[in-house]
């Protein structure tokens, strides 16, 4: 497996794990803040960006193993984790199977299992991508699931997001995206959440229609000692819609919350 990664700043290691179809660039709005305080590692999950992808059936556990191999390669024994959406699935799997490698854990816009509705939705998006739907049209439809009504009403933010994503030099491939969708459909950590020993913060947008707040609340009910922070006027991508609040909450939790 070939993984593309970048390391920014110095300090305690912080690994940022992107969501479905996203790569390291999805953290662009928060890396500068985090890198002033942490050794911040961003990377492309298998199946996105400049990383290769598994050509055989695999699971979220395999993606977690690859992330841990990256830490091994960088000589990092223990790190904070922030996982968004599918990245939250990966972060849960790391925390469950490699507890000694995780310092603190932040789960954003994620759940312990992918719903049947979302599985159908994602496979539908994978089909459209394979059918050569124009990337701008595809991203426009995708963005309707990501942002809050307030952000859509502002107009310029979503238009800029669609424009930049449509011109991104390392676009999604149908094969890589479908591979990620397939592993998400098989993920279910509900019976194993009690195995997460890391101090955990769940960040969830109140307007998230992709991973519903009630789905995120399952995490806080079953991960020992965890707590949830609901964000007003934000949906699935809190770190994109409100990066200043997201980094503020994350830094306070990682540095000060004992």
At 155, the pLDDT band (50, 70, 90 cuts) reads confident
What is the chain's mean pLDDT, rounded? Answer: 96
Separation of first and last alpha carbons in the chain: 37
pLDDT band at 258 (very low <50, low <70, confident <90, very high): low
- Whether 132 has a pLDDT exceeding 90, the answer reads no
> In whole angstroms, what is the distance from residue 209 CA to residue 54 CA?
29
* Dist CA 143 CA 119 (whole Å): 17
Distance CA 128, CA 140 (A): 13
pLDDT digits (tens, 9 = 90+) for 214-237: 999 999 999 999 999 999 999 999
Asked whether residue 133 carries a pLDDT value surpassing 80, the answer given is no
Report strand pairing: 38-43 vs 5-8: antiparallel
Order of strands across the sheet that contains 102-108: 5-8, 38-43, 12-17, 79-84, 102-108, 199-205, 227-231
In the chain, where the domains are located: 5-255
> Does the pLDDT value for residue 55 go beyond 90?
no
Task: Average the pLDDT over 244-249 and give the result.
Answer: 98
d(CA 194, CA 43): 28
Look at residue 1 in the predicted model and tell me its pLDDT. 80
- Please say if the pLDDT value at position 252 is more than 90: yes
Overall CATH class of domain 5-255: alpha beta
- Banded model confidence at residue 244, pLDDT cuts 50, 70, 90: very high
Note the pLDDT of residue 239: 98
pLDDT (0 to 100) of residue 53: 83
pTM above 0.95, yes or no: yes
User: Could you tell me which residues are beta bridge partners of residue 204?
Assistant: 230
With beta carbons less than 8 A apart as the criterion, state whether 91 and 107 touch. Answer: yes
Output the pLDDT for position 257.
64
pLDDT tens figures, 15-27: 999 999 999 999 9
How much is the pLDDT for 154? 84
């Amino acid at each position: 497996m070939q993984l593309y990664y970048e390391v920014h700043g110095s300090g305690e290691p912080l690994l940022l794990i992107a969501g479905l179809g996203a790569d390291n660039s999805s953290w662009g709005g928060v890396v500068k803040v985090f890198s002033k305080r942490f050794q911040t590692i961003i990377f492309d999950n298998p199946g996105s960006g400049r990383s290769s992808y598994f050509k055989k059936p695999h699971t979220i556990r395999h993606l977690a193993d690859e992330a841990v191999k990256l830490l091994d390669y960088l000589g990092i024994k223990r790190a904070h984790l922030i996982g968004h959406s599918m990245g939250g699935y990966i972060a849960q799997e790391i925390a469950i199977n490699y507890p000694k490698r995780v310092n603190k854990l932040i789960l954003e816009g994620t759940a312990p299992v992918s719903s049947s509705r979302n599985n159908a939705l994602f496979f539908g998006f994978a089909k459209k991508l394979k059918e050569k739907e124009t990337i701008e049209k595809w991203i426009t439809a995708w963005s309707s699931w990501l942002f809050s009504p307030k952000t859509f009403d502002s107009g310029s933010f979503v238009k800029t997001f669609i424009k930049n994503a449509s011109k991104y030099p390392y676009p999604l491939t149908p094969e890589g995206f479908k591979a990620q969708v397939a592993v998400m459909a098989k993920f279910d950590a509900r019976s194993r959440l009690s195995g997460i020993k890391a101090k955990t913060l769940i960040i969830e947008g109140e307007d998230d229609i992709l991973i519903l707040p009630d789905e995120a609340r399952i995490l806080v009910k079953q991960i020992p000692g965890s707590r949830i922070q609901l964000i007003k006027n934000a949906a699935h991508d809190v770190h994109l819609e409100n990066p200043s609040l997201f980094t503020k909450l994350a830094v306070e939790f990682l540095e000060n919350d004992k």
